[in-house]
Structure 1
Amino acid sequence: MKKAVMVLLSVLFVFGVAGVVLAEEVDLNFCPPSCDPLPNSDSLNIFWKIQPMTTVYIVEDELKICTFIGAPGSGNFKKGFKYGAAATGVGLRKIVGSISPALPTGVSMWGLLTRPDSIGTSTGPHMLGTADVDLVKGLEKLYAAYGTGEISLYADNSASGGNGMVVLKLTILDQI
């Protein structure tokens, strides 16, 4: 009989411990009535910035152009290129151009840009040098527009034969 009571107490002890463990598990899985509710909203800090977009992109990587020394109308030796531009925001902008390095004596290069997507005003052909010259003025509210450009090469009788390379730089600036 002692054995039966001992077995019965052991079984009760095991079930009691198991009940306590299960009761603890239930408390972890289900919130008691005093548990605070989870929030039904959250927030996020968002830092923002707005700025105008002013950019210019020449489609071609290079041009090759030649002319003859002293040829009448040597500026008829022209090459065209395409460019894209954007000038968003308030205020007028312009596209200026320059070349670097300077050309030799007797040699000149002229540049002409059409107005991108018929916005603004082309200032006509201008001799290009190391200082910026206005090529297109009056740009505003221009987004992803395209235009064409043209380079002409001249050589008067004082020029020497030869070859070289210059870099054409187009820049969008605020029109003041």
Structure 2
Amino acid sequence: MPQRTSDLARLVRARAVAEEAELACVFVHEDLDSCDGADYPVVHRRVQEALRAELGNAHYVLAVEEMEAWLLLFPDALSELVGAWKLPAKYRGKDTGRLADPKGILMREVSKGGRRYRESDAPAVLEKAVTLELHRDPVGSNRSWTRFGADIETCCRDHLKQPTRRR
């Protein structure tokens, strides 16, 4: 991992130089590829410490299972993006980090009417959640989503010296 984090830090710094930008915060996203459990904080801490040692202002965004677990927290954003998409009631209000195969849930159950969910839809769903101001009030829970929000607040407060916008 030391080589991986130093390579990443070199790329990030080179990009900042190329864009003549000050490096305020770096967010590194990765999927855990397993449900939330005892290994999540161990993996997160190990990589977070390596990134912080290399960059100082890095935040490791480790999505439990996969990023699609976050999308299940925003059923209204899903439906707003594609009208036929509906999150079944059995998933509403759940800890989406403990659901096996959230991508499969989106493909087989949420988008069974109309266009099927594709991985490339994820940014648009999250953008819709932010536009509709749903991102602060998820329908359910997910430890990695909560941590991501806390990291954004930390970045704004400590590195950008600005508070995050509240509704």
Tell me the TM-score normalized by structure 2: 0.24
User: Which structure shows the bigger proportion of residues in strand conformation?
Assistant: 1
Q: Which structure has the highest helix share of the two?
A: 2
Relative contact order, CA 8 A, sep 6+: which one is greater? Answer: 1
Structure index of larger Rg: 1
After TM superposition, the score normalised by the length of structure 1 is 0.23
